[in-house]
Copies of this chain bind each other. A is one copy, B any other.
Amino acid sequence: MTVVSEMLKTHPTGVGDTDEAILKNCILACLECLYSCTACADACLAEDTVADLRACIRTNLDCADVCDATARVLSRHTGSEGDLVRRMLEACRDICRSCADECEKHAEMHLHCEVCALTCRRCESACTELLAAL
């Protein structure tokens, strides 16, 4: 997805003081995690042991919705919503951590949870790194 770097470079007002590489990394991580959590919720739903995966499904769905909103907010640079960016990154970092914790409990049993846990950890790190760079 080279499109993220390309769009960041072509914004008429630029992306301010934010480090472009760190921002790009975080947008990509949010998009990836939106997908991964939506897919993992559905895969958990199809498991024989779905009754044991309730918490995982719920956390997956929340995580997908928060990553979606965070990716959208991070894609805008007109005007200034610095406080909102910070708030959303904190929310996103925390739900990614919860979702990774939850998925890791089932990672040995369910490969989709193992993959999703890694995606959530990447997004947790990317949000933490962008928060530090703001």
User: In the complex the two chains form, is B81's CB within 8 Å of A87's CB?
Assistant: no
A residues contacting B by CB (< 8 A) are: 1, 3-4, 6-13, 27-28, 31-32, 34-36, 38-43, 45-48, 50-51, 54-55, 57-59, 61-62, 64-66, 68-69, 71-73, 75-79, 81, 83-84, 87-88, 90-91, 94-95, 98, 110-112, 115-116, 118-119
Oligomer copy total: 4
A131 CB → nearest B CB, Å:
13
* Contact A11 B69, beta carbon cutoff 8 Å: no
> What's the least CB distance linking A75 to chain B, in Å?
4
**Contact present for A71 and B35 (CB under 8 Å):** yes
Give me 24 A-to-B residue pairs in the complex whose CB atoms sit less than 8 angstroms apart, sorted by A's number.
Answer: A3-B115, A4-B39, A7-B36, A7-B116, A10-B110, A11-B43, A11-B112, A12-B46, A12-B112, A42-B75, A42-B78, A45-B54, A46-B77, A51-B51, A58-B76, A65-B68, A65-B69, A65-B73, A66-B84, A68-B68, A69-B69, A83-B98, A87-B87, A87-B94
